[in-house]
Amino acid sequence: MNIAIILAAGSGVRFSTGTPKQFITLGGKPLFCHSVEAFEKHPDIDKILIVTLERYIQKTQTICEKHSYDKVIDVIAGGATRQASSYEAMQYLQYVIGQNDIVLIHDAARPLLPQSVISEHLALAQKYPGVITTIPCTDTVCESNDGALLSKNLERRVLYQAQTPQSFRFGDLWQAHQEARNNHHTVTDDAQLLVEKHLPVAMAKGDVHLLKVTTQEDLTLIRQWLKEMGKRS
């Protein structure tokens, strides 16, 4: 079984509007609906679990009913960090799915998710315990220790930008999450938990359009891309 988890429990501090960015209207519907629909449409995805802010659970359920999403099994409350939200999803799913089932964790804030990315994930997840989505870095990335003076430039050839989805065998990820929690260990994404346990994480090919809405400028770009995609199809 393949289960998509949509992480939509952030408050969008860097986006800075009253409404969390995942509920802002994009192309006539709330932004998170685009990710949900990408998984609804994919023939090999069986179920979808949405993780959101406690005060948005009711609203999210109503939106899902209105759009007649039939793979959405539940809408649950997330935690204070992305890691905690992902943990909540795992905790819920331990009674619902098996150790060898595949979970695909996706940021609700990345609305333009191509079907081909989901397909590549499902293929790689048969062979590897983890799969991440990446695109090669095009800019040179540099490091500064004090925020004022350059320390060094990093070797671009080996650098990638991480996107989502990130996919895992449920058993491996749930165990890694529990260990991290017991050790008060914090990470920025789920793939890091597996890498630290020396489990191989494969890289699926991402897409420039799979940009995460972080600032207002990102949303302006995504609106424009969506319009162009609409004209082409």
Residues near ligand CTP, by CB under 6 A = 7-15, 22, 51, 78-82, 85, 107-109, 212, 214
Selection from 139, 130, 152, 142 nearest residue 203 by Cα: 130
Q: Which residues contact 227 (CB under 8 A, 6 or more apart)?
A: none
Q: How far is the CB of 232 from ligand CTP (least distance, A)?
A: 26
Strands 2-8 and 102-107: parallel
Query: How is residue 164 written in tokens?
Result: 């989502």
Residue 51: contacted member of ligand CTP, Mg ion, none (CB under 5 to 8 Å, by partner type)? ligand CTP
Residue 81: contacted member of ligand CTP, Mg ion, none (CB under 5 to 8 Å, by partner type)? ligand CTP
Q: How far is the CB of 169 from Mg ion (least distance, A)?
A: 26
List the Cα angle 227/82/37 in 5-degree steps.
Answer: 35
What is the Rg, in whole angstroms, of the alpha carbon atoms belonging to the chain?
Answer: 18
Query: How is residue 41 written in tokens?
Result: 């449409």
Please say which residue, 82 or 121, places its beta carbon nearer to Mg ion. 82
Q: How far is the CB of 160 from ligand CTP (least distance, A)?
A: 18
Dist. CA 94–CA 112, nearest whole Å: 29
Q: How far is the CB of 215 from ligand CTP (least distance, A)?
A: 8
CA 29 to chain centre: 19
Please say which residue, 12 or 130, places its beta carbon nearer to ligand CTP. 12
Residue 85: contacted member of ligand CTP, Mg ion, none (CB under 5 to 8 Å, by partner type)? ligand CTP
With CB atoms as reference, the residue minimizing the distance to ligand CTP is 10
Selected range binding Mg ion among 2-10, 31-39, 47-55, 166-174, rule: CB under 5 A: 2-10
C-alpha dist (Å) from residue 33 to 21, 26, 37: 12, 9, 6
Please say which residue, 7 or 180, places its beta carbon nearer to ligand CTP. 7
Contacts with Mg ion, 10-49, as mask; x by CB under 5 A: x---------------------------------------
Dist. CA 226–CA 232, nearest whole Å: 10
Please say which residue, 200 or 216, places its beta carbon nearer to ligand CTP. 216
Q: How far is the CB of 189 from ligand CTP (least distance, A)?
A: 9
- Which H or E run contains 130? strand 130-136
| Inter-residue contact 132 to 201 (CB < 8 Å) | yes
Q: How far is the CB of 207 from ligand CTP (least distance, A)?
A: 17
Q: Which residues of the chain form contacts with Mg ion (CB under 5 A)? A: 10
